[in-house]
Chain A
């Protein structure tokens, strides 16, 4: 079955530590996205990538970094510079930049301990 796989489902981070969230898709989609979800704020765009080896900042990119070395993979690193990282992180993909439906993964819940 085609889809988007995010791992891990739950992640705990200590203060000052970098952590990387995995996102893999087998839909052969060109574009991939990372969103952050906080209660009462909807989903906010962190980074997106339209093609391999290229990515753009979204609305809340500070404290995050990404890479797109393979079409199927778009990992997100939450760095120690992100002051409030506790949130639900969602990865999504679309067939192209101007297509319609975005497919989402099941999310990773990150908690700072």
Chain B
């Protein structure tokens, strides 16, 4: 079952522009919402993460906006740079006593930032 839906599948942005990637989830029992960045041929690396008790978190040019009632969260990349060109994955972590630390990932968004 598809618990996390990520959009768009691909995104092209001009240098200096804002990149926005969205994720929607179908179950309310999640307690951690990370975004991972992956360069070709490499493993993903944590970019930024948020917990459901806050609506926004900012780290440098990267911001997560979280809307608990809409079951959506998004990644905003301000002043996008060519070095940001990568694949981005959102993820959710099931909460509760049976939590194993495993993550459920979105389908990924390939971002290309043009110079």
A residues at B contact (CB < 8 Å): 4, 6, 31, 33, 35, 40-45, 48, 50, 56, 58, 90, 92, 94, 96-102, 104-107
Contacts and interface: CB of A to CB of B under 8 A. Distances in A.
B54 interface: no
B101 A50 contact: yes
A71 to B, nearest CB: 15
A92 B43 CA distance: 9
Given A102-B34, A102-B46, A104-B43, 5 more contacts: A40-B9, A40-B107, A44-B105, A101-B46, A106-B42
Nearest to A30: B101
A24 B11 CA distance: 35
B107 A107 contact: no
24 contacts: A33-B101, A35-B105, A40-B9, A42-B4, A42-B108, A43-B105, A45-B102, A45-B104, A48-B100, A48-B102, A56-B100, A96-B101, A97-B101, A98-B101, A99-B101, A100-B49, A101-B46, A101-B49, A102-B103, A104-B43, A104-B45, A106-B42, A107-B42, A107-B43
